[in-house]
Structure 1
Amino acid sequence: MPRYEYRCRTCDDTFELSRPMAESSAPAACPEGHQDTVKLLSAVAVGGTATATARSAAPASSGGGCCGGGCCG
């Protein structure tokens, strides 16, 4: 189940709730019981590095498109 982050406008506390995606926009009371809350936008970061094998396995561009077809400069 997805976790959503909210901020209480009354006490300025931030908190998370696990709830179905269909309820992500539903009002959420803060842990102190205040009702004036706002859902925060979350930035999801996926870390990791590509290995040399994975990079070399990508097919080379054979043209087409502006930067691959030589129409630039």
Structure 2
Amino acid sequence: MPRYEYRCRPCGTTFELSRPMAESAAPASCPEGHEDTVKLLSTVAVGGSAAGPGAASAPAPASGGGGCCGGGCCG
């Protein structure tokens, strides 16, 4: 179940709630009972690296083809 982060405007408390995506826009009360809250935008952190020890590097993309101007549809 997704977790959503909220901030209470009256007391400044930041809190999280787990709720179904269908209820993501529903109002949320802060733990102190205030009703004036706002849902915060979340960011996703991805760890790791593209090329770890012993990993082969990715081949360079081929040129030409695909896209509007590369595919010849521009005239």
1:62 and 1:12 map into 2 onto residues whose CA distance is 52
Instruction: Indicate the RMSD between aligned Cα atoms, in angstroms.
Output: 1.9
Indicate the residue corresponding to 1:24 in structure 2.
24
SS of 1:53's partner is coil
SS at match of 1:22: helix
Shift of 1:63: 1.2
Cα deviation code 1:45-70 (max 9, x no counterpart): 1111132524x2x33322127xxx8x
Map of 1:64 onto structure 2: 64
Q: Supply the distance in 2 between the matched residues of 1:17 and 1:5 (Cα, whole angstroms).
A: 7
1:43 aligns with 2:50: no
SS of the residue aligned with 2:55?
helix
Report the alpha carbon displacement of residue 18 of structure 1 after superposing the two structures with TM.
0.5
49, 52, 55: which is aligned to 1:53?
55
Structure 2 unaligned segments of length 5 or more: list them: 71-75
Moved over 4 A (4+): none
Q: Which amino acid aligns with 2:60?
A: A
Which whole-Å CA distance do the structure 2 matches of 1:18 and 1:41 have between them? 15
Aligned length: 64
